[in-house]
Amino acid sequence: MTLRIEIEDLAKHFGEIKAVDGVTFSVSKGEVLGFLGPNGAGKSTTMKMITGFLTPTRGTVRVCGYDVLTDPISVKASIGYLPEGAPAYADMTPEGFLKFIADVRGLRGAEKKRAVASAAEKARITHVMFQPIETLSKGYKRRVGLAQAILHNPPVLIMDEPTDGLDPNQKYEVRTLINEMAEDKAIIISTHILEEVHAMCNRNVLIANGKIEFDGTPHELEALSRYHNAVCVSVGGVETDALSRFVESLDDVAGTEPLNFNNGIRIFPKGGKQITLELSERIRSNGWQIESLYVENGRLDEVFRTLTTRPGDAA
Ligand SMILES: Nc1ncnc2c1ncn2[C@@H]1O[C@H](COP(=O)(O)OP(=O)(O)OP(=O)(O)O)[C@@H](O)[C@H]1O
């Protein structure tokens, strides 16, 4: 594993506000890290410190081995950054804007031409290259921002809410693009759209009140849900009360609740265990006919709420 981003005990205080309060994690090549957290959790502030736009109160950031404080130019050369809202010069065309960014990145001649063409192609903006940015739709403006971020083919990509405000088709396209680039880059994406956790990320860090509350795979995050491995069953001709009484007598069952959309029940296993096979055999051995049965993976919205609200917070 090639470590590309190393963050240690990173903190940023604005007066009394501890926006980021001792955050430690690293990201390797091939990882797409979904940086999750509610509004005001400290995601943007962390990203701004990684990219060198904000100076930390405490802690260190290294990108591709370069320290952001002592070697900021090398850090900026290694990073493609899509800030929140994807600001760009509104009266420029994408072509003019990307050429300008290429100049700033020190690209010249054929290399510059190739870089602009390749970024435009990847971000799928080749057909709007000569239209002023201010006349483009929100989705296309974001794509121009993306093209800007990947122009110099950086080993590290940092994107602040890349799909924010896009329609479902545009979201799909941006996610596809990020997936295509994932293999040879280290990518951090901040989002509060939980479906993106599965669509794009192979790792999640969840932050609340400036501190890390979770660091693991999307599957591990889902497994924290009380619905993880819960089994929903309906049985023909059997009252839900009788079904509940029967399954609750089984060793691995922690409890049940009625489903409100069909004549069935949800069965919670003890300790999140896999009980589907045993359960279906026991129900059938009772002479009952299973009409429908499915297993839940877990609910990210519930896990998110549990990890990011403190006891006593308003719902
Ligand atoms: N320049 C600043 N001056 C004072 N406080 C700030 C400043 N920037 C951020 N904060 C505060 O720091 C905290 C973290 O903000 P940050 O923007 O990093 O959160 P976030 O997780 O990115 O939120 P969102 O999802 O809403 O973008 C918030 O309480 C915010 O008000």
The whole-number average pLDDT for the span 245-264 is 90
Single pTM value for the model: 0.88
Which of 12, 13, 16, 45 to mutate to test ligand 1, by most ligand atoms within 8 A of the CB atom? Answer: 45
What pLDDT score does 238 carry?
86
Quote the CA–CA distance of 105 and 88 in Å, as a whole number: 16
CA of 84, closest atom in ligand 1: 27
Would you list the DSSP string of 37-84? --TTSSHHHHHHHHTTSS--SEEEEEETTEETTT-HHHHHHHEEEE-T
The whole-number average pLDDT for the span 21-44 is 95
Q: Would the CB of 143 count as within 6 Å of ligand 1?
A: no
- 269 confidence band (pLDDT: 50, 70, 90): very high
Among protein residues, the one with the nearest Cα to ligand 1's atom 4 is 14
Q: Would the CB of 42 count as within 6 Å of ligand 1?
A: yes
Paired sense of beta strands 58-63 and 66-67, if any: antiparallel
The whole-number average pLDDT for the span 197-219 is 94
Structure tokens at 170: 């545009």
Per-domain residue ranges of the chain: 3-222, 231-296
What pLDDT score does 315 carry?
45
Among protein residues, the one with the nearest Cα to ligand 1's atom 3 is 14
Q: Would the CB of 55 count as within 6 Å of ligand 1?
A: no
- Residue 63 alpha carbon to ligand 1 centre in Å: 23
- Residue 256 alpha carbon to ligand 1 centre in Å: 41
Q: Alpha helices of 157-217 — where are they, by DSSP H?
A: 168-181, 195-200
Q: Calculate the average pLDDT of the chain.
A: 91
**In 10 A of CB 308, how many CB atoms?**
18
- Residue 113 alpha carbon to ligand 1 centre in Å: 38
Each as own residue / partner, the long-range contacts of residues 76-79 (CB below 8 Å, 24 or more positions apart, any chain) are 76/51, 76/52, 77/105, 77/152, 77/154, 78/4, 78/154, 78/155, 78/156, 79/50, 79/51, 79/154, 79/156, 79/157, 79/158
Q: Is the pLDDT of residue 3 over 90?
A: no
Which of 13, 16, 43, 304 to mutate to test ligand 1, by most ligand atoms within 8 A of the CB atom? Answer: 43
What pLDDT score does 263 carry?
78
Q: Is the pLDDT of residue 57 over 80?
A: yes
- 49 confidence band (pLDDT: 50, 70, 90): very high
Q: Is the pLDDT of residue 252 over 70?
A: yes
What pLDDT score does 170 carry?
83
Q: Is the pLDDT of residue 248 over 90?
A: yes
- Residue 158 alpha carbon to ligand 1 centre in Å: 17
Which of 44, 54, 82, 308 to mutate to test ligand 1, by most ligand atoms within 8 A of the CB atom? Answer: 44
Q: Would the CB of 41 count as within 6 Å of ligand 1?
A: yes
Q: Which of 149, 189, 143 is nearest to 167 (CA)?
A: 143
Q: Would the CB of 203 count as within 6 Å of ligand 1?
A: no
CA of 44, closest atom in ligand 1: 22
Do the beta carbons of residue 83 and residue 160 sit within 8 Å? yes
CA of 41, closest atom in ligand 1: 21
Class of domain 3-222: alpha beta
- Helices H / strands E in the chain, number of each: 11, 14
Quote the CA–CA distance of 249 and 22 in Å, as a whole number: 47
What pLDDT score does 311 carry?
61
Identify any residues that bridge with 257 across adjacent strands, giving them in sequence order. 266
Q: Would the CB of 14 count as within 6 Å of ligand 1?
A: yes
Quote the CA–CA distance of 64 and 156 in Å, as a whole number: 8
**In 10 A of CB 292, how many CB atoms?**
13
Among protein residues, the one with the nearest Cα to ligand 1's atom 18 is 42
63-112 residue pLDDT tens: 999 999 999 999 999 999 998 876 678 889 999 999 999 999 999 999 99
Fold for 231-296, please state it. Answer: Alpha-Beta Plaits (3.30.70)
123-180 residue pLDDT tens: 889 999 999 999 998 888 888 999 999 999 999 999 988 888 788 888 888 888 888 8
Among protein residues, the one with the nearest Cα to ligand 1's atom 2 is 14
